[in-house]
Amino acid sequence: MRRFGACAVSRVWACAGVVTVGQWQNKSTFQKMTPKSRDREAVEQLRKRLLPNGVTSAEELSADERRAFEERFKQELSVMQRQQHKAKQARDAADEERRAALENRRDAQRARAQAERERRAAEK
């Protein structure tokens, strides 16, 4: 993964409470996961974090507690997804900037080479 991408993504996962930035930079198993398994892991970690102590699943909660849990879970999940989307947009924008800069350098190099060829042709 590119350096800027790993940095941006690590912040998202750290915000989600799934992994710390230090773990990410140490090439933890979390970093080596596929994006889908990372998403599943993030959702599972979020679910564990929102459940009260000693409760392993939402089925163990009363109806009111379950509704409250599901509402909180949906809110937290949407926040996490929004953060991921913003990070992806930032990565895409950085990619586009890099691509444009590279293209500009190539165009300038072509123009210099063309000018040099024309200068040499004029000397002959």
42 inside domain: yes
pLDDT band for position 36 (50/70/90)? Answer: confident
Cite the beta strand spans of the chain per DSSP E: none
Indicate whether 121 pLDDT > 50: yes
For residue 96, what are the CA distances in angstroms to 6, 101, 124? 17, 9, 42
Residue 118 lies in a domain: no
What are the pLDDT digits (tens) for 84-113?
899 999 999 999 999 999 999 999 999 999
Question: Assign residue 3 a region: left if phi > 0, alpha if psi is -120 to 50, beta otherwise?
Answer: alpha
CA–CA dist 51, 80 (Å, integer): 17
Residue 25 domain boundaries? 3-98
Instruction: Look at residue 13 and tell me whether its pLDDT is greater than 60.
Output: no
In degrees, rounded to 5, the angle at the alpha carbon of residue 90 between the alpha carbons of residues 78 and 12 is 45
Higher pLDDT, 23 or 77: 77
Asked if 38 and 16 touch (Cβ cutoff 8 Å), the reply is no
pLDDT at 70 over 50: yes
What is residue 54's DSSP assignment? T
Residue 124 lies in a domain: no
117 within a domain of the structure (yes/no): no
Which of the four pLDDT bands, split at 50, 70 and 90, describes residue 37? confident
pLDDT value at position 100?
97
Q: How many domains does the chain have?
A: 1
Residue at 29 is within a domain:
yes
Note whether residue 120 is domain-resident. no
